[in-house]
Structure 1
Amino acid sequence: MFRETLLSELYEKKMVLLKIILGVSLFVALAGAAIHTLEPHTFDSLLDGIWWAIVTISTVGYGDFVPKSITGRLLGILLIVVGIALFSFFVTNLAASTLLIKEQSEKGLGTAQHASHLLIIGWNERSKLLIEQTHQLSPSKSIVLVDETLLQLPVQYRYVRFIKGNPKLDETLTRANIGHADTIVITASLHVEERLADANTILTLLTVKGLAPTTYTIAELLTSEQYKNAKRAGADEIIEASQHVGMLLTNGTHHHGLIDVIRKLITQNQTKHLCIAPLPHDYIGKRFGTICNQASTSDRFLLGICRAHEAILHPSEKCVLQQGDELIYVKR
């Protein structure tokens, strides 16, 4: 992430670098022409003069061409001094730019240049887990984090591009390159009261959908009061944290051990236990009971289907599958 930012910053300064390169090239050409004119017997051609000027300005010369006149040697001294000055200029500026960009990157003051990245809004334990599991499952996946409370991104998350700022502002999300994100996750803040946190989530969601209306967005709510507003604001999926935890506790109370079963089902690892996949073309028109037997031979245990964004668990065996359906299954 840091390397990409550094290259991006250098690219933005390409016109300045180009002018410097053109200026140095012109100076070298003039110096080569001058030494060829001053000492034509030592420097037989213009190319020899330019070669000597390049070698002298970049190092201190190879010794294959040595000026014999006082004027030629003075020109050589000038080239050596200019070469040292240019080298010091480049090294100093590169080091300063590198340190500045590194500091900006760690403190979230830069911009993201990624595409098809996962954009996470909010820094908390849930977003930490999301970052870690996403990186574990897809190490090449670009991740961008937006948060206004985090002072500096912890070093163990150096693979994450951090953008510091208010996520309810267009400028902050633009710096996160929201227009090129493929998925956006808005986590609820735990620093404020629940209702205020949900209100902030709705405002952030409105900003997100204003800038990226077609990007798949998941929003976390702490209560159920803002569920309809989140839907109206354009959330593709909504996690009602309190309700989901409450349902887990209820199920755990009545069916001991069920919480562990659910945890294992939704825990993402290399085997990806619980999955949703598009319906294969050759399954269209078949009955659910028929494909259950076929799927069992491919290490898939079917739980149901997803139709029109609605999950249908354990449908009738006579249920006919339609185009656009998705399969919900457990992978062995």
Structure 2
Amino acid sequence: MFELIKKAIKVNTLKLVAIATFFYILCAFIIYAIEPENFKNPFIGLWWVMTTVTTVGFGDYSPETYMGMVFGMFLYFSGIGLIGIILGKIVDSFTLYRRFKEEGKLSYRGENHFVLIGWSKKAQKTLDEILINEDNQSDIVLIDQLDKIPVEHENLYYLYGDPTKRETLEKANVLKSNSVTIFASDNEDEVSADGKSLLIASAIEIYGMEHNKDIYTIVEMVRDSHVKMFNHVKINEFLPSNDTFPFLMAKSMQYHGSSHLFMQLLSKRYGDDLWKIKPHPTWKTYRDAFHSLQEKGANLISANNDLGIIRRLDEAIPKGTNLFIICDKETFHSVQQK
């Protein structure tokens, strides 16, 4: 019996389930053959077998003959042991799945997610900012070569791999992502960090071109002078790694308290925030949008990346335009429902 148990443990889980299913059905027919008057059909026999091996034991059916009792004792030892092995393998499978997820060995199959490439202090702050947003229902896929996932969160998925390789991009389902953001490494010099970002961005562009798909790409640049090196690569946005702080400091020196305004725009932790909306069908011109939003308590500040629309309010709103507004969360939802 112990030798059989040892062999059963080594059997593939699916194969073991198939063997157990056949064994339990066979036992149902055997007990039906032994006591046909007590177990009136094989299904009742199967009911008794399953309540026995799962140790539920309702007692509604039980063997009444010596032969049936002997068979029941056989079932106690063999059937209960078999289902115990199956349950153990199922638990092991969940444990293995969790370990693979932590180590980044599983592919991601979701859509409209954010892909973050490269773990750094700035990547962590960016991740924290996204995760605190209650309105964000999108998942985040982090690609790096860490031993395990750096932060535990239900919306964060980790993928171990080289982001310049096609198989890694496929596992991250980059083609169906919302955007891909490439972060500079904390442990490399400026040239190496930006050079690595250039290589990754090139790999993403080539991968997208192979599938006729434009992948929205955002790159953190350590040195501004390197931006021209990216001219042959399609990058949607460059974000300076070191310049933002001095710019904010200069504004604060010139206009006291202005840093509080920027913090509201940069983070959802503070006051009113920056939101993106689609124009309502009834809005024909920017003036229509401006007045309608004003009545709701929202400030229209930009059409796409153009901050000068306040001087062109009578112009028609082109199709595909995204409007940016400043307001609180409640007002944003009110505008969205309009």
Do they superpose with TM above 0.5?
yes
Q: Within 5 A, what are the aligned runs for 1:1-332?
A: 19-59=15-55, 61=57, 62=59, 64-70=61-67, 72-137=68-133, 138=135, 140-148=137-145, 150-154=146-150, 156-157=152-153, 159-212=155-208, 213-230=213-230, 232-269=232-269, 273-284=273-284, 286=285, 288=286, 292-306=290-304, 310-313=305-308, 315-317=310-312, 320-324=315-319, 325-331=321-327
Counterpart-to-counterpart distance in 2, 1:290 and 1:56: 73
Residues 180-229 of structure 1, C-alpha deviations (whole Å, 9 max, x = no match): 32222111212101121111111111222333432322211112233244
C-alpha change, 1:214 and 1:271, in structure 2 (3 Å) is farther
1:81, distance to aligned residue in structure 2 (A): 1.8
Contact 1:218 1:237 in 2 (8 A): yes
Contact 2:265 2:274 in 1 (8 A): yes
Counterpart-to-counterpart distance in 2, 1:257 and 1:243: 19
Q: TM-score, normalised by structure 2?
A: 0.78
Contact 1:178 1:211 in 2 (8 A): no
Contact 1:106 1:162 in 2 (8 A): yes
C-alpha change, 1:29 and 1:88, in structure 2 (3 Å) is closer
1:45, distance to aligned residue in structure 2 (A): 4.0
Contact 1:39 1:69 in 2 (8 A): no
1:239, distance to aligned residue in structure 2 (A): 1.0
Which residue does the alignment assign to 2:333? none
Which residue does the alignment assign to 1:5? none
In the alignment, structure 1 segments of 5+ residues that lack a partner are 1-15
Report the residue type matching 1:113 in the other structure: R
Residues 302-330 of structure 1, C-alpha deviations (whole Å, 9 max, x = no match): 33433xxx524365256513313443432
1:134, distance to aligned residue in structure 2 (A): 1.6
Residues 10-63 of structure 1, C-alpha deviations (whole Å, 9 max, x = no match): xxxxxx766544433332333233333334454444444444333333338527
C-alpha change, 1:140 and 1:293, in structure 2 (3 Å) is closer
Report the residue type matching 2:293 in the other structure: A
Contact 2:277 2:322 in 1 (8 A): yes
Report the residue type matching 2:21 in the other structure: S
Contact 1:59 1:83 in 2 (8 A): no
C-alpha change, 1:240 and 1:139, in structure 2 (3 Å) is closer
C-alpha change, 1:79 and 1:249, in structure 2 (3 Å) is same
Q: TM-score, normalised by structure 1?
A: 0.79
1:65, distance to aligned residue in structure 2 (A): 2.5
Counterpart-to-counterpart distance in 2, 1:59 and 1:100: 27
State the number of aligned residues.
310
Residues 240-262 of structure 1, C-alpha deviations (whole Å, 9 max, x = no match): 22344443344334434333332
Contact 1:60 1:80 in 2 (8 A): no
Counterpart-to-counterpart distance in 2, 1:41 and 1:91: 33
Counterpart-to-counterpart distance in 1, 2:216 and 2:25: 57
Contact 1:184 1:217 in 2 (8 A): yes
C-alpha change, 1:231 and 1:134, in structure 2 (3 Å) is farther
Counterpart-to-counterpart distance in 2, 1:200 and 1:23: 52
Report the residue type matching 1:298 in the other structure: K
Counterpart-to-counterpart distance in 1, 2:33 and 2:251: 94
More displaced, 117-126 or 50-59?
Answer: 50-59
Of all paired residues, the percent bearing the same amino acid is 20
Partner SS state of residue 116, structure 2: strand
Counterpart-to-counterpart distance in 2, 1:180 and 1:186: 17
